[in-house]
Amino acid sequence: MLSVPDLDILCRMFVDPNLKTQDRFLVMMFLFGGQLTQNDFHKTGFSEDLLFDFLTSAGFERFRRVADFGLFQDTSLMRVWGAPISLNIECFKP
């Protein structure tokens, strides 16, 4: 199970010409992490197709996008302006 920022959704949000500066900054924080602690950084972003390619190269298979892992409440569940901002994936390695 993994959850990463959804680059497709967040990029569409960021380039929305109707977004105010403070909202664009918020989207940027979702893209790169809030950077409030040493573990709150994102060094890369993924779209579903890019992530599936990387996971396939690493030997994973049977990919399934899920809304919720059902484990705990965290930002993988967050919706911004009605859209989920995380790409939540279950996959398996034989």
pLDDT at residue 24, as a whole number: 95
pLDDT digits (tens, 9 = 90+) for 68-93: 888 877 778 889 999 999 999 999 99
pLDDT at residue 88, as a whole number: 92
Put simply, whether the predicted model's pTM sits higher than 0.85 gets the answer: no
Tokens of 7: 């680059």
Residue 13 reports pLDDT greater than 90: yes
Residue 36 reports pLDDT greater than 90: no
Residues 49-74 have a mean pLDDT of 90
Pairing of strands 83-84, 61-65: unpaired
For the chain, the structural domain boundaries read: 2-92
- Our CA angle for 15, 51, 46, nearest 5°, is 25
